[in-house]
Amino acid sequence: MNSTPDLGPVPQRITVDAEQVRRLIEDQFPEWAGLPVRPVAKGGWDNFTFRLGDGMVARLPSAAEYALAVDKEQHWLPALAARLPLPIPVPLAKGRPGTDYPFPWSIYPWIQGEPASADRIADPVRFALDLAGFLAALQSVDPVDGPRPGRHNWFRGATLRTYDATVQRALTALDGHIDVGAAREIWKTALDTPWDGTDRWFHGDMAPGNLLLDGGELAAVIDFGTCGVGDPSCDMAIAWTLLTAEGRQTFRERLSVDEETWARGRGWALWKALVACAQTVDRSDEESANARRVLYGIFSEYAINRG
């Protein structure tokens, strides 16, 4: 894409509590009205997540911009699920706005598992192979009529230049705290590396919290709110944000990722890491340490590949 999309203002999030969800269930799905409703800890930013009984989950967008993904998920996730090697969320029902909740929302089956983290993964190389196999299957799905990048997915699958202003602000905030020169070089390389224009499906938010483990192995992939068709390099960011060095190489080989896609994927990872570092620059907690770990891993891998 030649033009840079406008991300627009920061979404105005609302609040949702369990009592609101109970009322929505009673009004719209009386067959489930007797089931307990419990908020999910760390249920996400884009959606409020509530357990509905033991076997279901209600996901309610937290802002109008995030609600744009509901129809997309309702339409595409059943079709994608049939073509993927791991479970993904498939909607059971679509809710409508209620008197005290303004957006469409969804009910899904509850998928058992724990969010991925480096210490929970039993075999990092096996995990990398399984994740790459999942993405290979996703990319092989016919992209015709698939959702193009837009506000529904914050322009995942489009140009990285969408996030240039955000990166520049982060670099300004981090000057004197990190190697800003190296970051600028990596970012410029990513921006200047062209996409061949071949549309492929992508998840759009390959993050540890969206990869579920069972017994230390990859068991499911969730939260497809940013999915679409376009440049799949955004899904490569996970190679730096979660995988080990050996796992990253295995992941790349299994997906047969070319230099250009890899460079743009590194750019997506850099954007995430810089923003996280800027937000935690004056802190010394686990979140800050993790952001710096990812950033230094990006620097190291880039230096090694550059030779």
Measured CA to CA, the distance from residue 228 to residue 4 in angstroms comes to 18
How far the first Cα of the chain sits from its last, in Å, is: 30
**pLDDT for 278 beyond 80:** yes
Give per-residue pLDDT as tens, 169-223. Answer: 999 999 999 999 999 999 999 999 999 999 999 999 999 999 999 999 999 999 9
pLDDT tens for 45-67 read 999 999 999 999 999 999 999 99
Q: How many residues does the chain have?
A: 307
Q: Which domains does the chain have, with CATH numbers?
A: 18-111 (3.30.200.20), 115-306 (3.90.1200.10)
Q: Give the residue from 23, 46, 44, 18 showing the smallest Cα distance to 33.
A: 23
Question: What is the reported pLDDT for 2?
Answer: 45
Q: What is the mean pLDDT of residues 152-161?
A: 96
Mean pLDDT value of segment 259-272: 98
What's the CA gap between 302 and 307, in Å, rounded? Answer: 9
Spatial strand order of the sheet with 114-115 comes to: 114-115, 211-214, 217-221
Please report, rounded to a whole number, the percentage of residues in the chain having pLDDT higher than 70. Answer: 99
Q: Is the pLDDT of residue 1 over 80?
A: no
Predicted local confidence at residue 10, as pLDDT: 84
Query: What does pTM read for this prediction?
Result: 0.96
Mean pLDDT of 8-29: 94
| Residue 307 scores a pLDDT above 80 | no
In 161-259, which ranges are E strands? 200-202, 211-214, 217-221, 228-230
Indicate whether 4 pLDDT > 90: no
Read off the pLDDT band of 306 (50, 70, 90): confident
Q: What is the average pLDDT value for the chain, to the nearest integer?
A: 96
